[in-house]
Amino acid sequence: MPRADTLATVQIDFSPVPSNANRLGAKGAGEGGTVAATPAVMNAIIDALASKGVRNLSMPATPERIWRALRDHSGG
């Protein structure tokens, strides 16, 4: 098991690159929390359709794509 004294030295650097989109040069940081939302919704849809035989659905999960997936797995 590695310990702190056996790990390589880590060099930490900071290279700020201001945004050109506003006068402050600030960038958004709140989007990070939304990264898992899309896979979570897609997994919920697949879980809901699994009993009908649907195991895969391409994004975006439009009503038409869901309908076609159900139709294609119903045998008719």
Would 65 be classed as within a structural domain?
A: yes
Q: Which domain holds residue 43?
A: 32-76
Is a pLDDT exceeding 80 seen at residue 75? no
Q: What is the pLDDT of residue 72?
A: 93
Distance CA 53, CA 72 (A): 9
| Total domains present in the chain | 1
pLDDT in tens, 5-49: 888 888 898 888 898 999 998 888 777 778 889 999 999 999 999
Would 19 be classed as within a structural domain?
A: no
Q: What is the pLDDT of residue 8?
A: 85
Q: What is the pLDDT of residue 65?
A: 96
Contact (Cβ atoms closer than 8 angstroms) between residue 52 and residue 70: yes
Would 61 be classed as within a structural domain?
A: yes
Q: What is the pLDDT of residue 2?
A: 81
Is a pLDDT exceeding 60 seen at residue 76? no
Would 44 be classed as within a structural domain?
A: yes
From the number of C-beta atoms within 10 Å of its C-beta (0-12, 13-18, 19+), residue 69 rates as buried
Would 26 be classed as within a structural domain?
A: no
Residue type, 10: V
